[in-house]
Each structure stands twice: as C-alpha cells, then as structure tokens.
C-alpha cells in the first residue's frame, strides 16, 4: 500500500472523546472513525488488523472442529419469544416492526438463531456432537458506549455454539474452547487472564471470562496471588468470618444523627462487623411466557463490614434487573431509610440475607423508626428471609480457596465461554433421539470473542508516547518503508521486491518532510521500519528499526534486504508463537 | 470435511416455498436455511461457496486499487437526513429509535456513510482519487422476498465508492469497474450481460446493470441481437414512427361501449396508432429538506399502439413514487376514466405526453364524457404538457441504434454501477480544495454486487435433475470422496493425502448405503467425485467422475491419485479462467 493513495489520513491532534490512549491512537493513526455513539467504521488499517485477528480465530476454531456459518443479524422476534428473551432483555436489544407489522429484533447474540437452525438439522445422536461458529455483526444498544471499540453498540463477534448428547461432551468442547481462547489471545499478543464468571442473561451454570487487565476496564476482577483463584467480582466469593455468641434480647435504643454505619459504630462504640445494614432495591421480574412485568421491593441484609454485590443480589432474587428503591417505595414496604431493617417489613418484601448476617448473632440493625436502632437482632428469631451469599469481594479479603489475601483489579472482557445446558434446547424444542430411543434435549454451550474489542485492547496494551506498536501478528502491515531521498526509484524497487516476496509493506512515497514521515511511522507503529536515506544509501545500505525499540538502528545491505527483512519477520513472529499460552480447563 | 460430522443435512424433499430449482437445491443440499421471510442462514456449504465468491471479488477489487473497509449497518439517521433520503426512501428502509430516542436506520446502501467518512479524510486534490469497498451485511425490507437468495431482506453486498476530482477520473474508475465486474462474474462461472440502467433512488446519470438472464428474473431486458444494444426496459428506448398529416378540426363522437382501445378501433375502423390513450397515476413528491409529502395527479398520454413504462413516467415527473389513481381522483382532475384525455383537465394535473403522441396528428382521444371520444386531437393545439419518452419497449420494436428488431428477456440483476456525480458530496459537504485553490465537490461513483444473489444465480444456472453442479471456482469443496468399502482405511488415506496437498475434500465416511451416498453427491454436486469401491480397488484403482458429466467414468491408479486429481482441478479451473470475459466500457 502506498501512503500517497491511502484513503485514511493521520491526525496530529486527538479528536474529542478519545477517552483512552489506545482509542486516541486508533483514531489518530486512521484505523477507525466514529459515525455515532458506539458506531464505528474500520478504515484500511483497522480492517487489515481485524482481518488478521479473524484469521487467527478461524484457524483455532477450525482446529477444534468448528464449522463456519453465517446467521442473520435481523431476526424474526418469534424465536426470541420462544425462549422468553424477547421480554426479559431490556432496551439493550433494539426492536422494530417490518413493513408487515411483524416484530423484528437486532440480534445481540445468536442462541435463538442457532437453536432454530440446529433443531432442523439434528434429529439423532448420530448427528452429535456439533460445533458451529460465525464471525458476524451484532448490535447491542449499550447505554454508555465509551473508549472507542472497547464499548460499542455495533460490533463484530466470533460466536460459537456447541451441541452435545451429554454433559461429558459439553465439558470436552468447553475445555477445547478454554484452551483455544488462550491460544487465540496469545497468538495475537494480547495478555489475558481467565476468571470465573456469571452467566447473566445467557442462563446456564459454568462460565468463564477472558480479561485483559487494564485500568480502563469496567469489570472488577478478584484474584488470589497465592493460589491463582480468579473471578469476576460479580460472582467472586471469599472466606467470611462469622461471630457467634449467645443470643441476647432485642433492645431499642435512640441513635440520633446516626445515618451511616460509621456514625452508628462511633456512637455505640462497636465494630462494623457487629451491625447489619440493609440495601433497598426494586427488582423487575418478567414473565417469560407473555412478557408481563412485575416489580418487587427487595431488601438485602449484609453485615456492616461488607458491601452488597448487586449482581449476586439480583441472581439470588432471580430478578431480570435491579434498581435502587425510591424513599416512598421503602416506606411503603414498612421500612425507614437510614434506620431500616427487615424487622417489621411488610410480608411482600423479598428479604435476602447474606450468610455473614445469618451466621452472626446480636447485630445492631435499624429499628424502622427515625432515630432508633435495635441492639441484638438475630436472623430467624427476629425476622426471616432467604439466605444467600450477596457479599462483594474486594482487596484484602481472604481467598476462598487458600486463605491468601485477595487482590482487586480492573479488566476488559474480551471473551467468554458458557455452559448453557438445556436452557435453549428445552424452550425451543431442540431434541434428539438418543441411542436408547429416548428423546432428550441437546446440551448446548456458547462461546464469544469480541473482535473489535480485541483490537482496542491490543492498541491499549501496545503503545508509547509516540503512537501504536502492535505485534507483528496483528499489525496492518509488517513493514513501513520510508523513502527520504529525492529519487524515489530505490524505494520503489525495495517496495516491489518486498511485495513480490509476499511481505506486507506500507510505502511512504509521499512528498513530505522526514519529520512528517517519521511521526506518521511512529504513530501507525508498524513493527519494522526501513528508511531509505541519502547517507546510508551511498554505502549501499538502508536503516532498519523495530517499532518496539526505536533507540536501536540496524544497517542492512540494500542487496540483501529481502532476505534480511524476511528473517526479521520470522523472528518477530516466532517470538510471539513461542510464547503461545497453553492452558487446560480442569473441571472443579 | 467429513460428512459424518457435517452440521447440515441433506433433504430428500423440497421444502415448502422453494419456488425455483436453484433455491430448491440450495435448501436440499444444505447450503442455506430460511429463518424468516427473506432472512437466511448460510450453513457450511453456503458459507464456503460465498467465501470463494468473495475472494474473487476482493482480488478484482484490489486489482483496480480498491481499499477494503467496513462501515456500520446501523446508521444514525442524521446523515440520511442530510441527503434527504431519510424521507425519500419509503418502507424499504427500516428505522428504529435507540434507547435515547434518536432515529436510527438500517443501511440498505452506504453512500451517506462513506461520504461522511470521506469528508473527514479528503480535503485536497492531493488526496484524490480514492476507491474504497466493503463486503458487508445490508437490510432492505423488500415487500416481496422470493426465490431464496435471489430476493431477500438481509443480504451481503460488495459495495464500492469512488471519489474523484473530475468527470474524467470518474469515467476511468467507472470503466475499471465495468471491466472488473465482467471478470468477477466470469471467474465465478456466471454468464451475465450488461445493460444500460436507471439510476433510481441513487441519483446520478450513467449507470449499468449486470444481468443473469433467466426466466426466474423479474427485470425485463431489451436487447438487439443485431447490434448488441441492451437496456433495462425501465429505460430502454426504441425507434418510433410518427404519423404526421395536416391537422383537422376536433369532432366529438358517440362511442358507446368503447372502453378499451380495441373496442374503439373496431368501432371507428381505425388503427391503434391513430389513437392517444391516457394513463392516470398519482405521484408522491417528497421535500428532501423536511420530508413533507405532496401528492399530485399525473396523466401520461401515449399512442394507442404502445404502453407507458411507469419508470420513465416517474422519472419524467420527478416523482418519488407512483401509484394508480383512484376513480375519484381522476374525476376530481376533470377527467373521466375510460373516456379520459388531458383535454379539459384541471390545470394542476401534471400532463406528460409521449413524443409518439406529440409528433403525430389527428389522434382519437377521450372526450372526458362518458360514452364520447374526440376525433382529430392534436397536442399543443388542443392541450399542452411536458413531452418525454414514456413508452415501454418490447419484443418486435425497432432498435434505436441499428433498426434491428428488439427482443425482450427476463433477468436477475447481480451487479450495478452508478455514476453519482455530486449528488452526495454537495448535500453532505464533501468538498476538496482543487489545485487552483477553488473548493469543489468530490465526484462520486457507487458500485454494487449482491454476493448471495450471485450464489443463487449460480445455483440456478448450474443444476440438472439430480442436483447442483457448481463450477470449481465456487463449489464449497473441490472433491467429493465416496467410500463404499467396509474398510474405511483406503478412503482415510486418500482423504489425508489429498487434504495434505491442499485439495478441498468432502469425505463421505458415513455408514450409509451406496445409493444414499451417490444421491447426496449428485445433490451437493461437487465438481470431482472419487469413488472407492471394492471392484476397482482390487486392481489398485479408484473411479473418478466429473459432476458435469456423470456418464463418463475415469479410472485412476490409487498411487497416482493426488497428482491426477490436482491435474483435473487445474484443468477445470483453467477452463473457467481461460474464458474470463474482458470487456471495456466505451463512453457514449
């Protein structure tokens, strides 16, 4: 590619809205352009890099037996009504009516689609197992698009779907993905960790997320540096201490101006762990059959030394979504904000009690009366409710596995794998006749990788104060050829020779100054740079630099240039491929 | 690929709705599956074939300097409002509001998108010309999806867009596409003809369509077998004879029961060419600035020996759409259905007169009075209006170029090329500073190929009573290997040897009867079939057949099989590549 004819241009300044370094550079180098909130175009560099990522994904998916297909983005709503997700997914899923007035949805994932196809193809155990995948456009109306391709509304995703006879089959293909994903990310140069995760709207039980650790991430990951325990905070557990003692009688005490746990503890001269605090939420519950919505007040009760993890609370409540309750809603539930507890709450309030509270005694809790608290409240004696782990893990807490100290970090989810089980096959009647003649629902799994998000994370991980420095396996071109001499012929010959031998070259043949050309080369950041300059040319040489080490200049004979560059490309490539992460899933 | 693990299955019966042979076979062979009206999934065979078509397209687009990009399907409506097409395109374009209440559209084409991107990249003549393309998903809410992938709602399209300084530049890139398209279609084996076409909703002046001629097509193509003149009937012209004579005075005559031209001619003992007939339509005119719609009654007047071509009438009227007028609307316009003419019509009726009428004298026309006609009406003396060619060409009419006899045939449009000019750059402010310092609008072109429709046409063109017989350049695999012997090892070895040498093999390793395997092989129709059978195996041979000639059986030594098959593939491939159509565009 010649820079003189390149469609995209580089930008000297970061455009408005570039809220992280990787995004800024992808914009400035001309990889991507924004069209609207969370909507982007890939320009030639971005397209090339994406195509390389996709090639790696295809190779690894094919290696585990994946068959590539392509399903539609626009789906008839009927199949989404079959599983109930037409109703249970909120505004994230965009809908419209076609000219005939039929409900259509823009698919944000393809469990419904693929199950609809599979039920036509799979009738017998003889046709199992199956694994299909697609690399396809999706739309998700994210309320807060940000950070360029990190959080978008339209995106390209690799999604695969497995179909098995039994759990053993699902475990095997799940393990295949677990391993293949590490290979995919590491072949592209992206460091990731795998974390135990919540299944969320997907249903199913076991799931993992692949996280690129970065302060720009919005996911919180809890890890144990000692034993390697990792989980998304949404589901991370930790080892809790319980404080049991003999139950004492409840006593109402005046606690003026004690609106926070800190105030209360200072006033009563107790520790936070001796209190129970209440969190008031309203859950939405959707009837999957007809889409009818119902709201319910939920009170989560947790010990004062911990916080409620909303996702756990939502899962425990089996709610479709949660929102903070309004003051009037809390009062209507028989509780008083600031001095609230489930004691005396109306019976239609859903009470969910963390085990830290259930297993501790004599906690101070709100008296549901302005200015008053109750001493010595005890679960089951004074109030009842569902017991669940609804506590949020954080740094310093104790590892649930090895008793080490947990660490909290930020990450971006670039892939996920789910064991769906029969959630979709049962609701959509995707059954097969087993070897014993019995009809059984197919056991499914679902596996995703965000292609554009991978590019964004790579850009975030590989940059410096001059621009991008993407790994050779994903850079849009391998070589940046900069001609600084008046006579373009030498550059033209190198361009032709390299291109003819299959090397991908971006040739800066523009009539620009050396300063402009180098600044652009630094910004675009192709791994290998060849500079054709007057001085070295006199000695029959050209200068070569690696983008990853601009300090060092290599000098190659002009006549050996093709061979030398080939060797360099091979070296850079094998540096990455020799470090491919091989990691197996061990079923708990 | 092993058939024992293939995701798709073959179907013995044609599913409901398979309204043409190609569609039926694509379904039965497992290339595609329908998800809803005009919505399909590509299963592995369909995906493979499509990928091959796309590879050919990419090679030819890259060869003419195209840079591949990817633009979003979901567009903010704002850019479509800039060009006015948010208003002027009707229900074919689906719209929805995002969660923030902003208008969004599902892009059916990308002139707005690409112009939005280009205006950010192109500022100077130094950055011109440019040519970008994408292979991307589109949605068009077609009112009548049919014939499988021939007429769908969601589809994959290659669309390219050119940006030039001047008309010469546009002509050059237009000519490049004209030629590249012939290469693309012929490399895939699809016979096409190119026809002059209407620009329709795209704007612009010059345009061509590439047509696959077939009775299943919905476009009518007018060709002259003598000189090669071709055009879509929507714009086809022909040589008209005019009948001039001295004007006679108008005379009202009673013409009872003469509701048709035939009745009238029989009653008056005249020829059809001596009459003028009126066609009443209502046109919708949309204000591109604000979307306001206005309706207007249009009367098209044509000589009785011809018919009105609605598309020409709409273009002449500059209407956004046309529909037949209701009786009340015609009456309100001062005309009487069955006995109507523009003579005495209200002055707000838009009168469009074909030149056949304008240049002939003394025609019989309706008197706008039930039961009466007027003899000797003459345009300009008795009524006025706009003169335009609104006549529909058909078989037997005279070629406009060589006076040969025109022929009408049916075709499917698989590609189109448009000279857009400044239609989009002006309305979207995509200007560049020219060498003389003057800011000028970029001159654009737009060029499309329907990828899925190409596959559908190939399936339609290459089949027989047993199934598909796709050309080797687009077949999902090159070789179908059928093992009929109990010991699968020979088949396994051939499968491995062929695959290792880069040959694409579908291996029927199932435990099925020879009859089932052959029927499936015929149906899927891969170009080369190898049969491993007991009889020939004893002599160290395998049987080879070409799908295009099942009568002939070749016998190859087992030990030379890789070399022999390679040679066969090369021969079949070069048979196609030696017949690549090279055709240049000659500007009129």
Indicate the residue of B39, B46, B95 with minimum beta-carbon distance to A74. Answer: B39
Tell me the per-residue pLDDT of B67-82, one tens digit each, with 9 for 90 and over. 999 999 999 999 999 9
Q: Does residue B161 share a domain with residue B121?
A: yes
Q: Best interface-test mutation with B: which of A35, A76, A136 has the largest number of B CBs within 10 A?
A: A35
DSSP annotation of A379: B
Indicate the residue of A41, A69, A95 with minimum beta-carbon distance to B71. Answer: A41
Q: Does residue B321 share a domain with residue B210?
A: no
Q: Which residues contact A233 (CB under 8 A, 6 or more apart)?
A: A219, A220, A221, A222, A309, A392, A393, A394, A408
Mean pLDDT score, A515-522: 96
List the domain range (segments joined by +) for residue B209. 21-223+408-460
Q: Does residue B412 share a domain with residue B377?
A: no
d(Cα A543, Cα B291) in Å, to the nearest integer?
60
| Domain final residue, candidates B388, B419, B448 | B388
Q: Best interface-test mutation with A: which of B32, B43, B101 has the largest number of A CBs within 10 A?
A: B43
Inter-chain contact B153–A91, Cβ cutoff 8 Å?
no
**Exposed/middle/buried for B586, CB within 10 Å: 0-12, 13-18, 19+?**
exposed
B110 belongs to a structural domain: yes
Q: Which residues contact A577 (CB under 8 A, 6 or more apart)?
A: A187, A473
B230 belongs to a structural domain: no
Model pLDDT, residue B526: 98
d(Cα B291, Cα B242) in Å, to the nearest integer?
41
Q: Does residue A105 share a domain with residue A62?
A: yes
Mean pLDDT score, B286-309: 89
**Ranges of H-type helices in B379-513:** 423-427, 451-461, 489-500
Q: Which residues contact A190 (CB under 8 A, 6 or more apart)?
A: A212, A414, A454, A457, A458, A461
Tell me how crowded residue A180 is: count the other CB atoms within 10 A of its CB.
23
Give me the percent of chain A exceeding a pLDDT of 90: 84
Indicate the residue of B42, B113, B141 with minimum beta-carbon distance to A35. Answer: B113
The token duo for A199 is 């299944």
Inter-chain contact B153–A74, Cβ cutoff 8 Å?
yes
Shortest distance between the Cα of A552 and any Cα of chain B, in A, equals: 33
Distances, alpha carbon B240 to alpha carbons B271, B299, B302, B358, B537, in Å: 16, 21, 12, 12, 70
Q: Residue A300 is part of a domain; what is its CATH number?
A: 3.90.960.10
Tell me how crowded residue B323 is: count the other CB atoms within 10 A of its CB.
12
- pLDDT band per the 50, 70, 90 thresholds, residue A487: confident
pLDDT above 80: residue B495? yes
Mean pLDDT score, A335-360: 93
Model pLDDT, residue B197: 79
pLDDT above 90: residue B399? yes
Inter-chain contact B74–A7, Cβ cutoff 8 Å?
no
Find the closest chain A residue to B10 by CA distance. Answer: A121
Q: Does residue B212 share a domain with residue B89?
A: yes
Model pLDDT, residue B586: 87
Model pLDDT, residue B403: 85
Contacts of A98 in chain B (CB under 8 A): 94, 141, 153
Q: Does residue A298 share a domain with residue A183?
A: no
pLDDT above 80: residue A291? no
pLDDT above 80: residue B166? yes
Q: Residue B139 is part of a domain; what is its CATH number?
A: 3.30.930.10
B271 belongs to a structural domain: yes
Indicate the residue of B5, B40, B100 with minimum beta-carbon distance to A72. Answer: B40
Q: Which residues contact A403 (CB under 8 A, 6 or more apart)?
A: A239
Tell me the per-residue pLDDT of A61-104, one tens digit each, with 9 for 90 and over. 999 999 999 999 999 999 999 999 998 888 999 999 999 999 99
Model pLDDT, residue A200: 59
Inter-chain contact B98–A94, Cβ cutoff 8 Å?
yes
pLDDT above 90: residue B201? no
Which residue, B474, B509, B485, is CA-closest to B45?
A: B474
Q: Residue B569 is part of a domain; what is its CATH number?
A: 3.40.50.800
Contacts of A30 in chain B (CB under 8 A): 121
Model pLDDT, residue B320: 85
| Domain final residue, candidates A388, A421, A447 | A388
d(Cα A422, Cα A205) in Å, to the nearest integer?
11
Question: Length of chain A, please?
Answer: 588
A5 belongs to a structural domain: no
Mean pLDDT score, A474-503: 95
SS3 B55: helix
Tell me the per-residue pLDDT of A189-222, one tens digit each, with 9 for 90 and over. 999 999 987 765 555 578 999 999 999 998 999 9
- CB–CB of A47/A477 below 8 Å? no
A11 belongs to a structural domain: no
Q: Does residue A451 share a domain with residue A488?
A: no
A25 belongs to a structural domain: yes
Contacts of A127 in chain B (CB under 8 A): 9
Model pLDDT, residue A199: 64
Q: Does residue B110 share a domain with residue B63?
A: yes
A231 belongs to a structural domain: no
Q: Does residue A156 share a domain with residue A40?
A: yes
Indicate the residue of B95, B106, B121 with minimum beta-carbon distance to A8. Answer: B121
d(Cα A72, Cα A137) in Å, to the nearest integer?
9
Mean residue pLDDT across chain A? 93
Q: Which residues contact B567 (CB under 8 A, 6 or more apart)?
A: none
Contacts of B43 in chain A (CB under 8 A): 69, 117, 121
SS3 A493: helix
Inter-chain contact B41–A120, Cβ cutoff 8 Å?
no
Indicate the residue of A33, A96, A156 with minimum beta-carbon distance to B117. Answer: A33
pLDDT above 70: residue B362? yes
Model pLDDT, residue A50: 98
Inter-chain contact A7–B67, Cβ cutoff 8 Å?
yes
Model pLDDT, residue A17: 78
- CB–CB of B16/B36 below 8 Å? no
Inter-chain contact A72–B104, Cβ cutoff 8 Å?
no
Which residue, A448, A447, A444, is CA-closest to A117?
A: A444
Find the closest chain B residue to A117 by CA distance. Answer: B33
Question: Length of chain B, please?
Answer: 588
Tell me the per-residue pLDDT of A296-314, one tens digit each, with 9 for 90 and over. 999 999 999 999 999 999 9
Q: Does residue A549 share a domain with residue A483?
A: yes
The pTM assigned to this predicted structure is 0.92
| Domain final residue, candidates A432, A460, A488 | A460
Contacts of A78 in chain B (CB under 8 A): 36
Inter-chain contact B67–A1, Cβ cutoff 8 Å?
yes
Q: Does residue B308 share a domain with residue B435?
A: no
Mean pLDDT score, B172-195: 97
- CB–CB of B28/B160 below 8 Å? no
DSSP annotation of A482: E
Tell me the per-residue pLDDT of B373-395, one tens digit each, with 9 for 90 and over. 999 999 999 999 999 999 999 99
pLDDT above 60: residue A546? yes
Model pLDDT, residue B203: 55
Domain count, chain B: 3
Tell me the per-residue pLDDT of B419-464, one tens digit each, with 9 for 90 and over. 999 999 999 999 999 999 999 999 999 999 999 999 999 999 999 9
DSSP annotation of A99: T
**Ranges of H-type helices in B285-354:** 310-317, 327-332
Indicate the residue of B8, B35, B74 with minimum beta-carbon distance to A75. Answer: B35
Model pLDDT, residue B312: 93
Q: Does residue A33 share a domain with residue A168?
A: yes
Q: Please count the CA atoms within 13 angstroms of the CA of A130 that sit on its side-chain side.
A: 31
Model pLDDT, residue B204: 59
User: Considering only A382-391, B34-43, B85-94, B191-200, which range has the smallest mean pLDDT?
Assistant: B191-200
B67 belongs to a structural domain: yes
Tell me the per-residue pLDDT of A167-198, one tens digit each, with 9 for 90 and over. 999 999 999 999 999 999 999 999 999 998 77
Model pLDDT, residue A203: 56
């Amino acid at each position: 590619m010649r820079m003189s004819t390149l469609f995209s241009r580089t930008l000297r300044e970061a455009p408005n809205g570039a809220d992280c370094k990787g995004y800024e550079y992808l914009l400035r180098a001309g990889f991507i352009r924004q069209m609207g909130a969370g909507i982007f175009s890939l320009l030639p560099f971005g397209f090339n890099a994406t195509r390389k990522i996709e090639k790696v994904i295809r190779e690894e998916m094919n290696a585990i037996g994946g068959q590539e297909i392509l399903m539609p983005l626009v789906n008839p709503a009927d199949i989404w009504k079959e599983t109930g997700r037409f109703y249970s997914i909120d505004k994230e899923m965009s809908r419209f009516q076609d000219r005939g007035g039929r409900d259509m949805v823009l698919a944000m994932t393809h469990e419904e689609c693929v199950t609809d196809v599979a039920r036509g193809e799979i009738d017998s155990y003889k046709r199992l197992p199956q694994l299909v995948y697609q690399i396809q456009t999706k739309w998700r109306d994210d309320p807060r698009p940000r950070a360029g391709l990190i959080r978008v509304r339209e995106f390209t995703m690799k999604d695969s779907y497995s179909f098995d006879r039994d759990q053993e089959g699902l475990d095997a293909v799940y393990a295949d993905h677990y391993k293949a994903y590490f290979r995919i990310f590491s072949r592209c140069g992206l460091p990731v960790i795998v974390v135990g995760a919540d299944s969320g709207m997907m249903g199913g039980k076991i799931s993992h997320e692949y996280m690129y650790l970065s302060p720009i991430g919005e996911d919180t990951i809890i890890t144990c540096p000692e034993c390697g325990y990792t989980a998304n905070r949404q589901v991370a557990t930790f080892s809790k201490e319980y404080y049991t003692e003999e139950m004492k009688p409840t006593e109402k005490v005046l606690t003026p101006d004690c609106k926070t746990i800190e105030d209360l503890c200072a006033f009563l001269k107790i520790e936070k762990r001796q209190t129970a605090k209440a969190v008031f939420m309203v859950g939405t519950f959707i009837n999957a059959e007809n889409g009818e919505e119902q709201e319910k007040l939920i009170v989560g009760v947790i010990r004062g030394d911990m916080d409620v993890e909303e996702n756990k609370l939502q899962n425990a409540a089996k709610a479709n979504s949660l929102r903070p309750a309004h003051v009037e809603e809390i009062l209507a539930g028989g509780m008083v904000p600031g001095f609230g507890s489930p004691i005396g709450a109306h019976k239609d309030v859903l009470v969910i009690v963390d085990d830290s509270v259930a297993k501790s005694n004599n906690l101070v809790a709100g008296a549901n009366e302005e200015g008053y608290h109750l001493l010595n409240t005890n679960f089951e004696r004074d109030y009842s409710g569902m017991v669940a782990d609804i506590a949020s893990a954080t740094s310093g807490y104790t590892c649930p596995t090895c008793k080490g100290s947990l660490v909290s970090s930020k990450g971006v989810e670039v892939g996920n794998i789910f064991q769906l089980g029969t959630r979709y096959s049962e609701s959509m009647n995707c059954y097969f006749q087993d070897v014993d003649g019995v009809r059984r629902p197919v056991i499914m799994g679902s596996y995703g990788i965000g292609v554009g998000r991978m590019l964004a994370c790579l850009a975030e991980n590989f940059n410096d104060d001059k621009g991008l420095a993407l790994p050779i396996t994903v850079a849009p071109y391998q070589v940046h050829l900069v001609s600084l001499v008046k006579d373009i012929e030498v550059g033209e010959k190198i361009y032709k020779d390299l291109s003819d031998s299959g090397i991908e070259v971006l040739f800066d043949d523009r009539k620009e100054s050396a300063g402009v050309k180098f600044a652009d080369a630094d910004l675009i950041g192709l791994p290998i740079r060849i500079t054709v300059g007057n001085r070295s040319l006199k000695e029959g040489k050209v200068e070569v630099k690696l983008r990853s080490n601009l300090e060092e200049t290599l000098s190659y004979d002009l006549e050996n240039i093709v061979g030398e560059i080939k060797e360099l490309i091979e070296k850079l490539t094998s540096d990455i491929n020799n470090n491919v992460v091989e990691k197996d899933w061990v079923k708990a």
